[in-house]
Amino acid sequence: MTNFAINEIGLKIRNPFAGVYIPPSDAQKRLAVSIEDIRRIQAECFKRDDELRNIVALITDTGMRLAEAVGLHQDDLVLDADVPHVQVCEHPWRSLKTSNSHRVIPLVGASLWVAERIKQNGSAYAFPRYANGIKCNSNSASAALNKWIKQVAGISNVIHGFRHSFRDRLRAVS
């Protein structure tokens, strides 16, 4: 309506409401995973030590999006630096959500443990079951991971919740 009025009257102004997002009233709020649940899930990841659980463990201590983690290449993991880290960058098989998504994330705790295992797996891709030089299939990983996470830590927890938890953990120390 504001746009219509601006155009109809011929005003040379920008709509002050442009870009305002009002979420629908029925939108579900994504919940952060509690630190207790994170530790429980990480302990299960260490026990199982398979590709799916390694994806979860990597995400818990990096805050990466699922597609970013699943689409990693061996060269993205830098373990021989003063601070081991992962370089999140675009690849032909996986784009990034935003231009600001290109970043370097230190590897600590569970994420460092996973990175060391990935470097030993002999594949060019961190998670070859879900990524190759052509495509990255994070959707099938998401379904399997969410099912497992709910079994371990309750039905309110999902893979994207780790991203919210990571943000909250960073805020708590700053």
* 3-state secondary structure labels for all residues of 53-76: HHHHHHHHCCCCCHHHHHCCEHHH
By the 8 A CB rule, do 165 and 67 touch? no
Q: Is the pLDDT of residue 25 over 70?
A: no
Give the SS3 label for residue 28.
coil
Residue 36's pLDDT band, with cuts at 50, 70 and 90, is very high
Specify the DSSP class assigned to residue 166: H
- Tell me which residue of 103, 109, 89 sits closest to 43, measured CA to CA: 109
d(CA 113, CA 123): 17
Q: Please, what's the b/e burial string for 126-159 (b: 16 or more CB within 10 A of its CB; e: otherwise)?
A: bbebbbeeeebbbeebbebbbebbeeebeeebbb
Express as a percent the part of the chain with pLDDT over 90.
68
**What element of type H or E holds 151?**
helix 138-153
pLDDT digits (tens, 9 = 90+) for 115-151: 999 999 889 999 999 998 899 989 889 999 999 999 9
Residue 8's pLDDT band, with cuts at 50, 70 and 90, is confident
Q: What is the pLDDT of residue 29?
A: 65
Residue 6's pLDDT band, with cuts at 50, 70 and 90, is confident
d(CA 66, CA 58): 10
**What element of type H or E holds 172?**
helix 161-173
Q: What is the pLDDT of residue 28?
A: 61
Give the chain's length. 174
Q: What is the pLDDT of residue 140?
A: 86
Q: Return the minimum-mean-pLDDT range out of 19-33, 61-75, 142-156.
A: 19-33
Cα–Cα distance list, 165 to 9, 30, 76, 89, 128 (Å): 48, 10, 23, 22, 27
